[in-house]
Amino acid sequence: MIIINGELGSTIHVMDRGAMYGDGVFRTMRMRDGHVKCWPQQYRKLQADCQALDILCPARSVLEQEVAQLARDAADCVVKIVVSRGEGGRGYGVPDSVSPNRVVLAAPAPNYPEHFWHEGVKLYVCEMRISHQPRLAGIKHLNRLENVLARMEWDDPSTPEGLLLDAEGWVVEGTMSNLFMRQGTVLRTPNLSACGVAGLQRERILKYAAQLNLTPEITQFSLPVLLAADEVFICNSVIGVWPVRQIGNQPIALGPIAIHMQHLLESETD
Amino acid sequence: MIIINGELGSTIHVMDRGAMYGDGVFRTMRMRDGHVKCWPQQYRKLQADCQALDILCPARSVLEQEVAQLARDAADCVVKIVVSRGEGGRGYGVPDSVSPNRVVLAAPAPNYPEHFWHEGVKLYVCEMRISHQPRLAGIKHLNRLENVLARMEWDDPSTPEGLLLDAEGWVVEGTMSNLFMRQGTVLRTPNLSACGVAGLQRERILKYAAQLNLTPEITQFSLPVLLAADEVFICNSVIGVWPVRQIGNQPIALGPIAIHMQHLLESETD
């Protein structure tokens, strides 16, 4: 089911600035039993990303009604919300009269093997390097060609995710996930002030770290440092947490924190 | 008039990867008397950009038929061609069965004052810095949030263009144009191997330089060096060439080459 500006539909105008320039933002969320996980925090992120691009964010109550409409049709799915700046202008300049377009849609939940959660996953190391753009860093915007091209680099279903580095060789994230590494009692995740998407689950894991007696640290680290970690895991709102058991050709030790975090994220007590 | 995959229309599917990720390319061209200027070179650029993203480029004959259909409706207009990778996949991965979507549309030619061509234009100096991404540099792709945000920085109709620098302070281009500067008999334009769009008119001007006894040079230069130039001009396929008479608050000398280039680009003898 697809709801476009409140109406059932499947198409948008070709002059939508999302379609023309990637001029918009989105969120991807998990719905289970008709309930979107972490909805208040997801809406807050959507608001913040809209604000960062000076796009008027749809009202929370409007989106809640539309998500409820999806839930009646498919209670177990992935929900995607896209907000573009709206239609207008052949050029980059934004017309005074622009009005945002919102798309709220349900897609089937991906069918990953159970062992990804219990035994961990392999990460492909992408050759594509993520560019530094502090003005857009952290935002889940629609300019995602880097992710698309990175994802095109490998095609092995047993490797569900790729690792992205920046031009200087610092670890940034996965193509669709954020990444954490543990060194003793320190839980590190890359600094995303120059590039990357600052996902909601990353934020939650940073908050939950103290409950597991871990010191969270937002910092730069290189691939060799990552490969020497005591434990590595990735996260997003669809998968939750996957332990990482291999990066490129190198095995990575499994540890207890990934599984603890799976449960904490599920608990939604934050 | 808008032609979508050969049919009159105005909408595309919301799952079009152009709309979801900016996963596509485009060209903007000038049609006069039903004739698209430099069509063979424009098609060659479209082909090259599609190839760079591994998108199947529509056949030239197909696009020519569609452009001819536009011409019967509006012989004097701006023609935009957008080619996206097609529809499919909620995630970044490209489905095996993907088939490109093409949009061919006519928009009114912009109504700039005549004196922009004769007396030159002012450039606003954008605060937004363009990011380095060698994998995408030069390509006219749909990830254009940097251009949109840069264009939002100023709102004065007497300043029709903004100057973009990279994070290191090198001059790159205008938000919608390429840039040249003359120092004596050397005609310099920025190296676009790390960022920027390598437009067709830039390529033509580099070729035509020798006819005006100028040595073309593709090279890095800073804003202070640009401000000290003997002459500066910008170009794209809609405006042709505009002399630059002011950058930020600083006046720039006008010179003869911008006007010569206007005529050479019009001649289409290349």
The ipTM estimated for the assembled molecules is 0.96
Of all residues in chain B, what percent carry a pLDDT higher than 90? 96
Among residues B87, B173, B189, B231, the one annotated as catalytic is B173
The predicted pLDDT at position B202 comes to 98
CB contact under 8 A, B143 and A148: no
Of the three residues B107, B123, B139, the one that is the final residue of a domain is B107
Query: How confident is residue A64, by pLDDT bands cut at 50, 70 and 90?
Result: very high
Question: Residue B89 pLDDT > 90, yes or no?
Answer: no
What CATH number is attached to the domain comprising B20? 3.30.470.10
Question: Residue A156 pLDDT > 80, yes or no?
Answer: yes
Cβ of residue B19 closer than 8 Å to a chain A Cβ: yes
CB contact under 8 A, A14 and B14: no
Size (chain A), residues: 270
Of all residues in chain A, what percent carry a pLDDT higher than 70? 100
The predicted pLDDT at position A113 comes to 97
Q: Is A17 in the same domain as A60?
A: yes
The predicted pLDDT at position A55 comes to 98
Cβ of residue B18 closer than 8 Å to a chain A Cβ: yes
Question: Residue A106 pLDDT > 80, yes or no?
Answer: yes
Q: Is B101 in the same domain as B128?
A: no
Whether residue B45 contacts residue B83, with contact meaning beta carbons closer than 8 Å, is answered with no
Query: How confident is residue B270, by pLDDT bands cut at 50, 70 and 90?
Result: confident
Of the three residues B80, B107, B134, the one that is the final residue of a domain is B107
Write out pLDDT tens, residues B188-207.
Answer: 999 999 999 999 999 999 99
Contact residues, A window 199-238, toward B, CB-based 8 Å cutoff = none
Q: Is B31 in the same domain as B132?
A: no
The predicted pLDDT at position A208 comes to 97
Domain count, chain B: 2
Of the three residues B57, B83, B107, the one that is the final residue of a domain is B107
Query: How confident is residue A269, by pLDDT bands cut at 50, 70 and 90?
Result: confident
Closest CA to B226 of B190, B175, B177, B263: B190
Instruction: Please list every residue in chain B whose beta carbon sits closer than 8 Å to the beta carbon of residue A109.
Output: none
Question: Residue B82 pLDDT > 80, yes or no?
Answer: yes
Q: Is A60 in the same domain as A100?
A: yes
pTM across the whole model: 0.97
Whether residue A133 contacts residue B146, with contact meaning beta carbons closer than 8 Å, is answered with yes
Question: Residue A268 pLDDT > 90, yes or no?
Answer: no
Cβ of residue A144 closer than 8 Å to a chain B Cβ: yes
Q: Is B97 in the same domain as B18?
A: yes
Among residues B140, B146, B203, B217, the one annotated as catalytic is B140
Q: Is A18 in the same domain as A66?
A: yes
Of A19, A82, A131, the CB nearest to B132: A131
Q: Is A242 in the same domain as A263?
A: yes
* Burial of B256 (C-beta count, 10 Å sphere; 0-12/13-18/19+): exposed
B11 is catalytic: no
Please give the full DSSP string across B179-208, using - where no structure is assigned. Answer: EEEEETTEEEE---SSSSB--HHHHHHHHH
Q: Which domain holds residue A222?
A: 115-267
The predicted pLDDT at position A270 comes to 77
CB contact under 8 A, A53 and B149: yes
Q: Is B62 in the same domain as B96?
A: yes
Closest CA to B141 of A171, A70, A79, A142: A142
Cβ of residue B29 closer than 8 Å to a chain A Cβ: no
What CATH number is attached to the domain comprising B137? 3.20.10.10
Closest CA to B12 of A91, A10, A142: A10
Q: Is A57 in the same domain as A73?
A: yes
Average pLDDT over residues A177-181: 98
The predicted pLDDT at position A248 comes to 98
Query: How confident is residue B38, by pLDDT bands cut at 50, 70 and 90?
Result: very high
Query: Would you give the end-to-end CA distance of chain B in angstroms?
Result: 30
Q: Count the Cβ atoms, other than its own, within 10 Å of residue B248.
A: 12
CB contact under 8 A, B149 and A131: no
Write out pLDDT tens, residues A75-98.
Answer: 999 999 999 999 987 799 999 889
Average pLDDT over residues B32-54: 97
The predicted pLDDT at position A67 comes to 98
Distances from the Cα of A84 to the Cα of A72, A92, A127, A195, B231, angstroms: 25, 14, 30, 21, 40
Average per-residue pLDDT in chain B?
A: 97
Average pLDDT over residues A19-42: 97
Cβ of residue A82 closer than 8 Å to a chain B Cβ: yes
Instruction: Please list every residue in chain A whose beta carbon sits closer than 8 Å to the beta carbon of residue B152.
Output: 54, 94
Write out pLDDT tens, residues B217-263.
Answer: 999 999 999 999 999 999 999 999 999 999 999 999 999 999 999 99
Q: Is B261 in the same domain as B138?
A: yes
Count chain A–chain B contacts defined by CB atoms under 8 A.
158
Whether residue A171 contacts residue A222, with contact meaning beta carbons closer than 8 Å, is answered with yes
Q: Is B136 in the same domain as B241?
A: yes
Q: Is A88 in the same domain as A164?
A: no
